[in-house]
Structure 1
Amino acid sequence: MRSRSQVAPKIDSHVSGHSPCEKCNIAEMSLCHALSCDDLQQLSSISSSIEVGKGVTIINEQDPANFLFNVTGGSVKLYKLLPDGRRQMTGFLFPGDFLGIAMNDCYAYSAESLEDTRLCRFSRAKLEELLKKLPHLENRLLNMVSNELVLAQDQMLLLGRKTAKEKVCSFLLSLSKRVQSKNGQATNISLPMGRSDIGDYLGLTTETVSRTLTNLKKSGIISIPTNGELEITDMQELTDLAEGLD
């Protein structure tokens, strides 16, 4: 029997409700931000709400890019498979983030849920038609794409110019900034991804990530109250370490 993580979800079977926008609690952070009631109704008419469990493949690299998704709950990891079978983690998505944008007819990466996750799914063809009618919605999507490019540039800096400690500290700061941008408490962040996922993202071994987090905890810079949660207890020191000043 194949494991759950190897099975892509049958998304249509998880559709829940006819108007997912009505009960959405992250509208201000998502594609729907600042839409009028009429525009929101049009967007809702081409969308469906889905739920997937932990470890479910949402999209596969090189599959036809027929759908786009807005993460409304939980978290998702993005990765590419190298020719030799190795995996390169390319990003992590949280509520409000957009998933599935493709420059051609196929997805350029794979996406897997890190925990129980909710998404709003859009037909690519129908969304493209709606964008022609609603230029402000298109501008919103372009802004989200631009943010993805900034994150990609930040990762290139992490992989190319920083030490292991600087990489881990920079990663924690980036998660903190994302929480802060979504009106959360910047010192308390969620870590639904495993140490191996973080290592793949930063170009480090799992052991190096674990050792660095342990040293930061011993130094009183962070605390790890429960599995999957982390608190930054000394933001200035973490920032200095990320910038190579300490």
Structure 2
Amino acid sequence: MSVQVVAMQDHRTAAICGLTVPVTDLSSLFHRQPIERFEPGRAIFWEGDEAADVFEVADGMLRALRLLGDGRRIIVGFLRPGDLLGVSLKERYLYTVEAISLVQLRRFPRRRFEDEVARHSNLQQQLFARLRDEMTAAQDQAVLLSRRSAEEKLANFFLMMRRTENSQRTSVVDLPMTRLDIADYLGMTIETVSRTITKFATSGVIAAPERRSITVLKMETLRSLADGDESGQWVPSRIAPARYAAASA
């Protein structure tokens, strides 16, 4: 994800009868912290705020974003259950993080987090590994933004969202974010995103009967599009099925 988003393995250690929770992994630090709920659209923290806490995402999806001087918004990543946010070498948050859906988080004071990591070598190794994975993800986004066409960008985005699902055995890809969120993440306009989704749907590559999910119908074709295949084998049919019209909404 972005510089402040660290994916964690979901290996939780239970606390029994009030005993101290063993610090076996990063997630165990958050296990006994209370759940906090955030409504869609609410900011968890703002870019430039003092980085006083680290958060674990328990449920829901969030977006990490930056605002440019001219008011434009750039989304740098999406956060899901099992991610950490607020981890930084800086004293202030680098991004604004907002809830997309109803979100549940656990909060841990940053200073205590740093002390615990410093005391346990296994946590240091885990944190380093997550930061390394995060940098790789940031590089992947840079490659995604460099793609030539809207079709390449969107096909890669759908495949990326599918890879982050709990299981890849289903062809349904959940998209809790809005079309504008997708556009701001991919460096496109919302009109181009909607038009490209409709193009995929009318060609039979995907079905998009709902606003917050798609169903991949032709996985190999989607992968070919992600790789920049410009062949005409997926050209949309003349008559678009009515149920696909929602894709352009």
Short-chain TM bin:
0.7 to 0.9
- The separation in 2 between residues aligned to 1:102 and 1:112, in whole angstroms, is 17
CA RMSD for the aligned pairs? 2.1
Name the amino acid aligned to 1:134: H
Kindly state the Cα deviation for residue 73 of structure 1 after the two structures are TM-superposed: 0.5
Number of residues paired by the alignment?
216
- The separation in 2 between residues aligned to 1:124 and 1:46, in whole angstroms, is 16
Name the amino acid aligned to 1:143: A
Q: Which runs of 5+ in 1 are unaligned?
A: 1-28
Alignment of 1:119 with 2:105, yes or no, is: yes
> 1:48: which partner in 2?
34
Q: Which runs of 5+ in 2 are unaligned?
A: 1-6, 15-20, 231-249
> 1:188: which partner in 2?
172
> 1:243: which partner in 2?
227
Higher helix share: 1
Return 40-49 or 73-82, whichever deviates more.
40-49
3-state DSSP of counterpart to 1:85: coil
> 1:209: which partner in 2?
193
Pair 197,38 (structure 1): closer, same or farther in 2 beyond 3 Å: same
> 1:219: which partner in 2?
203
Q: Percent identity?
A: 34
Please list the CA deviations of residues 82-124 of structure 1 after superposition, one character each: whole Å capped at 9, or x if unmatched.
Answer: 1111111111111111211222101111100001011121111
Alignment of 1:103 with 2:103, yes or no, is: no
> 1:18: which partner in 2?
none
Alignment of 1:197 with 2:175, yes or no, is: no
Asked whether the equivalents of residues 30 and 106 of structure 2 are also in contact (C-alpha less than 8 Å), the reply is no
- The separation in 2 between residues aligned to 1:171 and 1:57, in whole angstroms, is 24
Name the amino acid aligned to 2:190: T
Kindly state the Cα deviation for residue 219 of structure 1 after the two structures are TM-superposed: 1.1
Pair 125,64 (structure 1): closer, same or farther in 2 beyond 3 Å: same
Structure 1 segments of 4+ aligned residues over 4 angstroms from their partners: 34-37
3-state DSSP of counterpart to 1:90: strand
Alignment of 1:77 with 2:63, yes or no, is: yes
Kindly state the Cα deviation for residue 236 of structure 1 after the two structures are TM-superposed: 0.7
**TM-score, length of structure 1 as denominator length:** 0.81
**TM-score, length of structure 2 as denominator length:** 0.80
